[in-house]
Amino acid sequence: MTTAASALEVGTWAIDPIHSSINFAVRHLVVSKVRGTFERFGGSLTIGSDGTPAVSAEIDVSSVHTGNEQRDAHLRSAEYFDVDSYPTATFTSTALRHEGQAYVLDGNFTLKGVTKPISLSVEFNGVSPGQGRGSVAGFEATVVLNRKDFGINVDLPIETGGVVVGDTVAITLNIEAIKQA
């Protein structure tokens, strides 16, 4: 099996935010999900001469967008993301490994001033010659995080049991990265 790192040219690949997305979903009122995105983010994937990949990324947490401005303002508040004190979330990889037919990208994720190790399941979609702007690599990564692990401890109980906002948040990243000259 060809590894993602061996299929990518040595050097730096920059995340293309125009052709990438960071999406999330969290349970609401136990019975449905609220979905949203982060609209501003960036990062890079560097492939060393030995084929070792290193990933770093940053998310502007204030760019949260759920389609409801009142909810987005609440998410930016100190109760949730506290963007005035913690405007960015970051990820720095520590290892890439195979798990069956899939890849797992391990790293440290920092949100709201709390850093925890996380593991993203990664699907490598291949490399394209691009459209005159250089080679483009595609990835889809997923992870489920517990918001309370990162100091987002809001609990609004509902009469019938459960809480307004679920503890787990499913995150999907669709990433295009462009080979830098």
How many distinct structural domains can be found in the chain? 1
pLDDT at 76 (0 to 100): 96
Position 1 scores a pLDDT of: 35
So what's the pLDDT on residue 3? 52
Q: Which CA distances in Å does 46 have to 6, 12, 49, 92, 105?
A: 12, 4, 10, 12, 14
**CATH number, domain with residue 163:** 2.40.128.110
Residue 23 half-sphere exposure toward CB, CA atoms < 13 A: 13
* pLDDT for res 98: 87
* pLDDT attached to residue 134: 85
Tell me, what's the pLDDT at 140?
A: 96
The residue written with tokens 């998310």 in the block is 59
For position 2, what pLDDT does the model report?
44
The span from the CA of 8 to the CA of 94, in Å, is 18
Taking only Cα atoms into account, the Rg of the chain, rounded to an integer number of angstroms, comes to 17
Strand, coil or helix: 149: helix
Residues in the chain with pLDDT < 70?
1-6, 28-32, 156-158, 160-166
Closest CA to 71 of 116, 24, 22: 24
- Whether the CB-CB separation of 75 and 50 falls below 8 Å is answered with no
| Position 11, amino acid | G
Give me the domain span that covers residue 101: 4-179
